[in-house]
Amino acid sequence: MKLSRIDHLGIAVKSIDEVLPYFENTLGLKCYAVEEVADQKVKTAFLKVGEVKLELLEPTSPESTIAKFLENGGRGVHHVAFAVEDGVANALAECDAQGLRLIDKAPRAGAENMMIAFLHPKCTAGILTELCEPALH
Ligand code: ZN
């Protein structure tokens, strides 16, 4: 596969409203989008540092994987998302052929009009890894 950059870091938070002043007032970043991703049961807020985005993830339901992450003591960086140049579907097929555990067998719709898929952290040096590409219109 061909990765072009880190697209974003996913950061799990209990409340976006609670942490936004740190990112905006202390770090001087600007939140430019807030979006709810219903099928992942999260509210997202996006900020940008140069080319890299920060995706704040707040659970909207106790069944959300973010809620479970926080419940199990998880804090802060939740996943790293790489932009894939030659397609998420191709990258998934490559990972599958190499025997990696896939969380998503096929690309699905994520925030920011991106197609995304997650690889299991057991096979990715402990880093929950998201592969993404812009969705085709
Ligand atoms: Zn993400």
pLDDT in tens, 77-113: 999 999 999 999 999 999 999 999 999 999 999 988 9
For residue 26, report the distance from its CA to the centre of ligand 1, in Å.
Answer: 23
**What pLDDT is stored for residue 137 in this prediction?**
62
For residue 111, report the distance from its CA to the centre of ligand 1, in Å.
Answer: 8
User: How many angstroms separate the CA atoms of 115 and 88, rounded?
Assistant: 7
Sign (positive or negative) of CA dihedral 134, 132, 76, 52: negative
137 residues of the chain, pLDDT tens digit each: 999 999 999 999 999 999 999 999 999 999 999 999 998 999 999 999 999 999 999 999 999 999 999 999 988 999 999 999 999 999 999 999 999 999 999 999 998 899 999 999 999 999 999 999 999 86
The Cα-based distances of 18 to 39, 42, 88 in angstroms read 24, 16, 34
For residue 125, report the distance from its CA to the centre of ligand 1, in Å.
Answer: 18
For residue 8, report the distance from its CA to the centre of ligand 1, in Å.
Answer: 6
For residue 109, report the distance from its CA to the centre of ligand 1, in Å.
Answer: 11
